[in-house]
Structure 1
Amino acid sequence: MQCYDEASIQSLFQQVTDRFGAINILLNTWTGTEIPHLLSPTSITDFNLIMQKSAASFFIFGKVAAEFMQYQPHQSVIINLALSHENHHPHTPTTSKTVVSGLTQNWANELASLNIRVGGIVPINLQDKHHEQHTIVNVPMQDEIARNVEYIVRNDSFNGRMLESEIGV
């Protein structure tokens, strides 16, 4: 059973810190789905469920990471990754992209004075066929995301912005 309450996540971060030392990079993944249509009969229930499952855990991980990172003598980075099953539509704004972009910009402004940068990545699959139908992110996209993570970590001026990871047709 997955447990995403704040106390459990704080305990997890403390265990990681105790075992490996300071946490200075978090890859925080939003795995939400699209919000329901406004006029669907179950839209309110569906929306609340999506926000409870996806947004709450994403937000808690970001909050707890920032609490641990704020006292580090070196710069830290939170990288927000917007994943959803809808990432294969390249020109349609998704809930994942919108939510993660907004939180990335807000957190970057809030955490800048604490020496914590925040960047974001949105994978966009432009390929005609999916390599692995059972996964959200196929292997070529995983490689592209890893390159983007490295770019954000190495680029000290990258803060409050989003990258779109694309793999070609």
Structure 2
Amino acid sequence: MEITNKVIIITGAAQGLGRAMAERFAKHQAQLALVDLNEDKLTETVAHCQAFGAKASSFIANVADETSVEDLFEQISHHFGGIDALINNAGILRDRMLVKVKDGKIVNKMSLAEWQSVIDVNLTGLFLCGRECATKMIEKQRPGVIINISSIARAGNIGQTNYAAAKAGAVSLTVTWAKELARYGIRCAAIAPGFIGTEMTASMKPEALERMTSQIPLGRMGTPDEIAQAAEFILQNDYFSGRVVEVDGAFRL
């Protein structure tokens, strides 16, 4: 796919990986539909993209709400005349041990709300956006690409029962959709980032950050733009589908 002038939707575009991908595609003069719930930061992202001369518009939507997602894709399709690509990037963290034990007694448990909120955004949101994107592409007979953001945590990570389950699910959906949608000219792939330098990691305690970084064979965290570069490769390589690009500095959980 040639990125120039293509309509690309990015969820979770207000900051971090979403903003980095938006800015990289803006340099290609893509038409960007940027989605988030954080209106202030999303406005900043739109301005950054427009500064590169790209057409970029903001859309406020809750990806975990079916009606909100249906309305979102209707608006975007009407606004741009169609959709060429979706990057399912929106996600949240609610980390906690499944059960926490102190002096032989259970002192805390991951709550159902902590489980459900992450599943709702990171997996159900991905499903809803992917379904509506595929629907619009098929209706308009417009081939395209869906990219799901997974994580190396999909293999399982301490304190992330909810997140790991959602990110493993993201890969299963990717493979399934690649098989189902290929007949319509729709490719689907996933990216599994390792530890990436974002606002979230910047807020960590220096000693925790140093300990984490020391485990990465390349000796550093990745940058958001390196994830954006992986997304760029997927969009541009028309024979890549049903697979996961791991961008993790050779680190494995």
TM-score tier by shorter-chain length is 0.7 to 0.9
Larger relative CO (CA 8 A, sep 6+): 1 or 2?
Answer: 1
- Distance in 1, matches of 2:122 and 2:228, equals 22
Q: Flag structure 1 segments of 5+ consecutive residues without an equivalent.
A: none
Instruction: Name the structure 1 match of 2:245.
Output: 163
Shift in Å, 1:92:
5.8
Aligned residue number for residue 10 of structure 1: 70
Inter-CA distance 35–67: structure 2 relative to 1 (3 Å threshold): farther
Runs (4 or more) in structure 1 with deviation over 6 Å come to none
Which residue in the other structure is 1:116 paired with? 186
**Which secondary structure state, in structure 2, belongs to the residue aligned with residue 70 of structure 1?**
helix
Counterpart Cα distance in 1 of 2:127 and 2:203: 26
The match for 1:52 is 120
Quote the offset at 1:74 in angstroms: 3.9
- Deviation (angstroms), 1:141: 2.1
* Alpha-carbon distance between aligned partners in 1 of 2:234 and 2:116, rounded to the nearest angstrom: 32
What residue is the counterpart of 2:81 in the other structure? Answer: 21
- Percent identity of equivalent pairs: 28
CA shift for structure 1 position 78: 0.2
**Superposed counterparts of 1:6-155, under 5 Å:** 6-33=66-93, 37-39=97-99, 42-43=109-110, 45=112, 46-82=114-150, 93-94=156-157, 95=164, 97-125=167-195, 130=197, 132=199, 133-134=202-203, 141-155=223-237
Letter in structure 2 aligned against 1:79: I
CA contact (8 A) 1:30 1:100 kept: no
Q: Is the 8 A contact 2:87 2:149 kept in 1?
A: yes
Q: Alpha carbons of 1:17 and 1:53: their partners in 2 closer, same or farther (altered >3 Å)?
A: closer
Q: TM-score, normalised by structure 2?
A: 0.52
Segments of structure 2 that go 5 or more residues without pairing to the other structure are: 1-36, 38-60, 101-107, 158-163, 205-220
> Measured at CA, do residues 113 and 92 of structure 1 come closer, stay the same or move farther in structure 2, by a change above 3 Å?
closer
- Counterpart of 2:9? none
| 3-state secondary structure, aligned to 2:194 | strand
1:28 CA drift (Å): 0.5
Measure how far apart 1:76 and its partner are.
0.5
Between structure 1 and structure 2, the one with the greater Rg is: 2
Structure 1 contact 144–167 (Cα < 8 Å) conserved:
no
Say how many residue pairs are matched. 158
Q: Aligned to 2:132, what secondary structure does the other structure show? A: helix
Name the SS for the 1:59 alignment partner: helix
Quote the Cα distance in structure 1 between the aligned partners of 2:156 and 2:244: 13
**Distance in 2 between residues matched to 1:158 and 1:148, nearest whole Å:** 12
One-letter amino acid of the structure 2 residue matched with residue 42 of structure 1: K
Instruction: Return the letter of the residue paired with 1:26.
Output: L
Q: Is the 8 A contact 2:195 2:222 kept in 1?
A: no
Whole-Å separation in 1 of the counterparts to 2:239 and 2:189: 10
1:21-51 superposed Cα distances (whole Å, 9 cap, x missing partner): 2101000125244776555653461323332
Per-residue deviation at 1:73? Answer: 3.6
Residue-by-residue CA offset, 1:51-106 (whole Å, 9 max, x unaligned): 234322121111111111113444200001125xxx6x7x9645154222111111
1:4-34, CA deviations, whole angstroms, 9 ceiling, x for partnerless residues? 4222212111211222121010001252447
Q: How many angstroms apart in 2 are the aligned matches of 1:16 and 1:166?
A: 33
Normalised by the length of structure 1, the TM-score is 0.74
